[in-house]
Amino acid sequence: MPIQWLDKLIRRARVKSPWLLHFDCGSCNGCDIEVLACLTPVYDVERFGIVNVGNPLHADLLLVTGTVNRRNGRVLTNLYEQMAAPKVVVAIGSCGLSGGIFRTAYNVIGGVDQMIPVDVYVPGCPPRPEAIIDGVFLALDRLSRPAKSSDRPPLKPVAGRSSP
């Protein structure tokens, strides 16, 4: 069937060409430089077709490092909503998962999943580039499966989300 064949081709292309958008959401830079290190010769994610496009309209993959606070949470939600479907989110680092060492600080709301739905969590402080690449591949798994509406719940209102 040509339709099935086309569907298979498209899903393969999605896995082969994930363009990423990186947003530093209140991280200490440790994870950011590891994300950037993934692009450089030793790790070279372009082998897998991964390119840092820096523009939410073009990206398929949102890499978020760091904790959410009251100011950047709005930016994070904006970026997520600007991305065209299909899209996946990878939260990187202990802070991105839960708030990490900063969890009890007064200006920290918590992990990335307080704001947007997260598909893959990569733990570590900071995670090694290998771990980040592995997390990205787990996320790509989701892109290669046929999309189901139950996969992606709508954004739910969370405490702090509406505050500026």
Partner 1 sequence: MNHALIILGIGLVAGPLLGGLAGGLDRIVTARLQARTGPPVWQPYYDVIKLMAKELVVVNGWQAFCVYSYLFASMLALILFVMQSDLLLILFTQALGAVFLAMGALASTSPYSQVGAHRELLQILTYEPLLFLVGVGIFLETGSFKISVVMQWKDPLILKLPLLFAALGYVMIIKLRKSPFDLAASHHAHQELVRGVFTDFSGPLLGMIEIGHWYDTVLILGICSLFWATGPVPMAALAAAAYATIILIDNAAARLNWRWMLGHVWAMGLALALVNLICRHQG
Partner 2 sequence: MRTSVIPFGPQHPVLPEPLQLKLTVEDEVITEAVPALGYVHRGLEALAQNRDFHQMVQVTERVCGICSVLHAICYCQGLEDIMGITVPPRARYLRVIWGELLRLHSHLLWMGLFADSFGFESLFMQLWKIRERVLDIQEATTGNRVISGTIRVGGVSRDMDARQVHWIADQLTWVAHQVRQIEPVLREDFTIRRRTEGKGVLTSAQARELGAVGPVLRASGIAQDIRQTGYAAYGELDFEPVTATAGDCHARCMVRLGEIDQSIDLIHQALDRLPGGDIRSEVRGRPQGETLMRVEQPRGEVVYYIRADGGKTLSRVRIRTPTFANIPVLVKLLPGIFLSDVPVVVLSIDPCVSCLER
Q: Which does 58 bind (CB under 5 to 8 A by kind): partner 1, partner 2, none?
A: partner 1
> Whole-angstrom Cα distance, residue 77 to residue 117?
10
11, 14, 128, 142: which one binds partner 2 (CB under 8 A): 128
Amino acid at 113: D
Please report, for residues 16, 58, 140, 144, the alpha-carbon distance to residue 55 in angstroms, rounded to integers and kept in the order given.
19, 6, 19, 22
Nearest residue (CB) to partner 2, 37 versus 138: 37
130 binds partner 2 (CB under 8 A): no
Residue 104 CB burial class (10 angstroms; 0-12, 13-18, ≥19): exposed
| x-marked contacts with partner 2 along 145-164 as a string, rule CB under 8 A | --------------------
Nearest of 116, 90, 94, 92 to residue 103 by alpha carbon = 94
Among partner 2, partner 1, none, residue 85 binds (CB under 5-8 Å by kind): partner 1
Binding of partner 1 by 53 (CB under 8 A)? yes
Q: Counting contacts by CB under 8 A, is residue 58 touching partner 2?
A: no
- 126 is a contact residue toward partner 2 (CB under 8 A): yes
Distances (CA, A) of 125 to 12, 27, 50, 139, 144: 32, 10, 23, 20, 29
| Residues in contact with partner 1 by the rule CB under 8 A | 9-10, 12-14, 16-17, 19, 40-41, 44, 46-49, 51-55, 57-58, 60, 84-86
